[in-house]
């Protein structure tokens, strides 16, 4: 089924900074801010309830692995139902799960709410981008997705610090409750946004009763998802082991890595989107992979803070530019009727990389040290260059 003529004209004439896009951007920022308020607290919170450090780590990791299993089904919900109401219900469940952390009397309840949170968050993460593309002009898809990422960047830069300070002053349980309230407010605000560009799904639903593997995973864009997963694996390694590396090498102030990276991401995300819209994916991907390789090597051999901060800048020009371009390419490849499938398939690589990175990294770091841990990351990204070159040659993949 094709879009109606009026919808096509609307998309053609639409400005990027329209009311609906701005509203969704603000709601996303509120949601991610609430998420990152409690992100650094869960391991300590579970430890306070009696869990060992290893158990706390497993509980925290449940989020990514649950997202990996459930996330692909979010594409079916998004494409066969209403993006708006999938987002509202999913976000509301996110809020209930977060509230559950704060009210949990023991570890069993924490595990239950962690699984629920991972499942609902994986669906809303995929659906939010698919829904946002309804309000983005087709010729500015990369730029629009780049700006969407800024909401998460702002939350990453300020949310954890605010959350830690709030927990120190008011307690972790109250911080979880405040976060839950903010998420539920975001769900209520979503109700005021329209579905005006939602493609009619009546006939599609009538024709598609059975669910097949191709409805869960878009194999056409799976290579792009897995290549994108290499960036997320590097991100997981840095997030998990950078502080420990700093302690071992006596590099003070290593936490500035995250702040510097967030500041540069504010500029690189929209810039990469514009470059993708004008020049195509390859113009973004090859430099991004090289930047990320450089980042990993800088961290591997860092002996001073300036090398760590330089690595943060390279990361902003690596993962920060590749992610919105890859997402936009996935949407272009599958078309407007499969936005949910495109988004959920992209996040397969993201969740796989984010989950497996720390798992493999712990084994490598304990056996060979942090130098080889980040050398391994650089080698994986180098393989990514060859993998993308092969994919590009076979598909001649350019939307333009």
In a domain, 204, yes or no: no
Higher pLDDT, 294 or 211: 294
**Residues whose CB falls within 8 Å of the CB of residue 308, separated by 6 or more in sequence, listed in order:** 242, 246, 251, 254, 256, 257, 298, 299, 302
Residue 190, burial from CB neighbour count under 10 angstroms (0-12, 13-18, 19+): buried
Higher pLDDT, 318 or 212: 318
CA-CA distances (angstroms) from residue 232 to 68, 71, 94, 237? 13, 16, 22, 9
CA geometry: angle 122, 125, 131, nearest 5 deg: 135
CA–CA gap between residue 388 and residue 370 (Å, rounded): 27
Q: Which of 164, 197, 230 is the last residue of a domain?
A: 197
Nearest to 131 by CA among 373, 400, 331: 331
Nearest to 197 by CA among 331, 12, 342, 343: 12
Q: What is the length of the chain?
A: 400
Looking at the fold, whether 310 and 382 belong to one and the same domain comes out as: yes
In a domain, 1, yes or no: no
How does pLDDT run across 328-357, given as a tens digit for each residue? 898 888 876 787 788 888 888 887 887 777
Residue 101: the pLDDT is: 93
CA–CA gap between residue 189 and residue 26 (Å, rounded): 10
Q: Which of 131, 164, 197 is the last residue of a domain?
A: 197
Residue 196: the pLDDT is: 58
Using pLDDT thresholds of 50, 70 and 90, give the confidence band for residue 317.
Answer: very high
Q: Which domain holds residue 366?
A: 217-395
Looking at the fold, whether 189 and 232 belong to one and the same domain comes out as: no
In a domain, 28, yes or no: yes
Nearest to 235 by CA among 323, 170, 302, 147: 323
**Mean pLDDT over all residues of the chain?**
83
Using CA of residue 297, residue 67, residue 221, residue 9, what is the dihedral sign?
Answer: negative
In a domain, 4, yes or no: no
CA–CA gap between residue 14 and residue 24 (Å, rounded): 16
pLDDT value at 254 more than 60: yes
Half-sphere exposure of 70 (CA within 13 A, CB side): 19
How does pLDDT run across 285-294, given as a tens digit for each residue? 999 999 999 9
In a domain, 184, yes or no: yes
pLDDT value at 208 more than 80: no
Residue 54: the pLDDT is: 65
Looking at the fold, whether 118 and 179 belong to one and the same domain comes out as: yes
Nearest to 198 by CA among 121, 127, 122, 125: 127
Taking a C-beta distance cutoff of 8 angstroms, is the pair 71, 125 a contact? Answer: yes
Query: Hey, what are 293's tokens?
Result: 């390789």
The mean pLDDT value for 183-191 works out to 95
Q: Which of 197, 226, 252 is the last residue of a domain?
A: 197
Query: Hey, what are 10's tokens?
Result: 């609307």
CA geometry: angle 343, 114, 83, nearest 5 deg: 30
Instruction: Spell 233-254 as b/e; 16+ CB within 10 A means b.
Output: bbbbbbebbbeebbeeeebeeb
Residue 367: the pLDDT is: 84
Residue 125: the pLDDT is: 83
How does pLDDT run across 153-163, given as a tens digit for each residue? 888 778 877 88
In a domain, 244, yes or no: yes
pLDDT value at 197 more than 60: no
Residue 67: the pLDDT is: 81
In a domain, 8, yes or no: no
In a domain, 90, yes or no: yes
The mean pLDDT value for 178-184 works out to 96
Domains in the chain, number: 2
Within 10 A of 126 (CB to CB), how many other CB atoms are there? 31
Higher pLDDT, 199 or 137: 137
Looking at the fold, whether 253 and 160 belong to one and the same domain comes out as: no
Q: What is the CATH number of the domain that holds 222?
A: 1.20.1250.20
Looking at the fold, whether 273 and 357 belong to one and the same domain comes out as: yes
Looking at the fold, whether 248 and 192 belong to one and the same domain comes out as: no
Element (H, E) at 316: helix 305-334
Residue 357: the pLDDT is: 77
CA–CA gap between residue 184 and residue 111 (Å, rounded): 21
CA Rg value for the chain: 21
For tokens 């001649």, name the residue: 396
Nearest to 400 by CA among 346, 353, 330, 332: 332
């Amino acid at each position: 089924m094709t879009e109606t003529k009026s919808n096509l004209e609307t998309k053609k004439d639409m400005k990027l900074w329209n009311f609906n896009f701005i509203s969704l951007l603000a709601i996303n920022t509120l949601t991610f801010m609430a998420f990152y308020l409690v992100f650094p607290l869960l391991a300590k919170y579970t430890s306070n309830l009696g869990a060992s450090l290893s158990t706390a780590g497993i509980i925290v990791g449940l989020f990514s692995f649950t997202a990996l299993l459930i996330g692909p089904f979010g594409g079916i919900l998004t494409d066969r139902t209403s993006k708006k109401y999938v987002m509202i219900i999913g976000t509301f469940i996110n809020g209930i799960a977060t509230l559950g952390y704060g009210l949990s009397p023991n570890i069993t309840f924490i595990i239950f709410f962690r699984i629920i949170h991972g499942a609902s968050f994986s669906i809303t993460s995929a659906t939010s981008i698919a829904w946002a593309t309804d309000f983005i002009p087709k010729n500015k898809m990369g730029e629009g997705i780049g700006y969407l990422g800024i909401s998460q960047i702002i939350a990453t830069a300020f949310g954890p610090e605010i959350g830690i300070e709030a927990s120190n002053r008011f307690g972790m349980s109250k911080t979880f409750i405040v976060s839950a309230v903010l998420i539920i407010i975001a769900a209520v605000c979503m109700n005021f946004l329209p579905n005006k560009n939602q493609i009619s799904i009546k006939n599609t639903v009538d024709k598609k009763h059975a669910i097949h593997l191709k409805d869960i995973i878009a194999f056409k864009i799976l290579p792009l998802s897995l290549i994108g997963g290499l960036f997320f694996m590097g991100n997981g390694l840095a997030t998990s082991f950078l502080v420990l590396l700093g302690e071992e090498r006596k590099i003070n102030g290593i936490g500035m890595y995250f702040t510097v990276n967030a500041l540069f991401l504010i500029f690189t995300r929209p810039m990469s989107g514009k470059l993708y819209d004008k020049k195509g994916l390859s113009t973004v991907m090859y430099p991004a992979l090289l930047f990320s390789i450089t980042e990993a090597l800088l961290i591997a051999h860092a002996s001073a803070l300036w090398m760590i901060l330089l690595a943060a800048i390279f990361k902003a020009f690596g993962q920060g530019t590749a992610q919105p371009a890859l997402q936009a390419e996935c949407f272009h490849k599958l078309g407007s009727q499969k936005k949910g499938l495109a988004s959920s398939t992209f996040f397969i690589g993201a969740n796989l990389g984010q989950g497996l990175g720390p798992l493999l990294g712990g084994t490598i770091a304990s056996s060979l040290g942090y130098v080889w841990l980040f050398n391994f990351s650089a080698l994986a990204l180098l393989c990514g260059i060859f993998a993308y070159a092969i994919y590009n040659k076979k598909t001649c993949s350019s939307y333009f």
